[in-house]
Amino acid sequence: MWLVVGLGNPGAGYASHRHNVGFMAVDLLADRLKADSFRDKFSGSWTKASLEGEDVVLLKPQTFMNLSGQSVQPAAAFFKVPVANVLVMHDELDVPFGEVRLKLGGGHAGHNGLRSMIQSLGSPDFARVRIGISRPPPGFRGEVADYVLSSFDTSERAEIGDVLRRATDSVLDVLASGLTPAMNKQNTKAPGRKQKPKPPSPDAAKASAVPESISSPRSEAPSSGADSPRGNKV
């Protein structure tokens, strides 16, 4: 059995925030697994599904981000899920928006939801699906907490559906084939975000020069209180 956790803050006021991509991803995963409706228990909302005969518990802690572990630990204990079979989906400032990366264990990097989980589970050795939200752009007015507690911009909203789909793909890969094969498959740059090509050598440039008569298109390049939603690097 696996316990798949999505981190976020409860309430409609936080639903569209960058900090809530974990909730968004778990909701999509529940749809894809045709899980039952979420119900209340473990200071969270949970449901159960199965994949290829293996049970999967999906959990959205309702404790606010900073106390997420107080929901995860009771659920893991009740279902007798070892830490090695806990997988959490969460926002990640240090991953560019549009990228999804898998990781096993490690620190919390200032993410208070992960910090709480590590404290409550007594171990950092759970799997993570890190959904990139990038750091605040230059000129952003406010603290990091203000950024994660804000909604995606227009261009990001156009892409977030695909990002969430790939996040849930990565979970399905872990459940079906194990963490290491899934990491090898998913830890790549997002489609369409290509490396900048190296400039050609002078000889190659001369050989491939476009005649002047032909036009060539150019490619443009918070506090830690129980009621606080501020759970990332604050």
**pLDDT tens figures, 122-181:** 999 999 999 999 999 998 889 999 999 999 999 999 999 999 999 999 999 999 988 888
Tell me the CATH number for domain 2-186: 3.40.50.1470
- As beta bridge partners, residue 101 has 130
Average of per-residue pLDDT values in the chain: 84
- Structural contact between residues 149 and 229, judged by C-beta atoms closer than 8 angstroms: yes
Residue 171 to residue 184: CA distance in whole angstroms = 13
Of 10, 16, 64, 66, the residue nearest 233 (C-alpha): 66
SS3 percent helix, strand, coil of the chain, rounded to 5, is: 35, 20, 45
Q: Is the pLDDT of residue 76 over 60?
A: yes
Does residue 216 surpass a pLDDT of 80?
no
For 20-58, how does the pLDDT look when each residue is reduced to its tens digit (9 = 90+)? 999 999 999 999 999 999 999 999 999 999 988 889 999
Which of the residues are catalytic? 19
CA-based end-to-end distance of the chain = 34
For 109-121, write each residue's pLDDT tens digit: 889 999 999 999 9
Domain-by-domain residue ranges, the chain?
Answer: 2-186
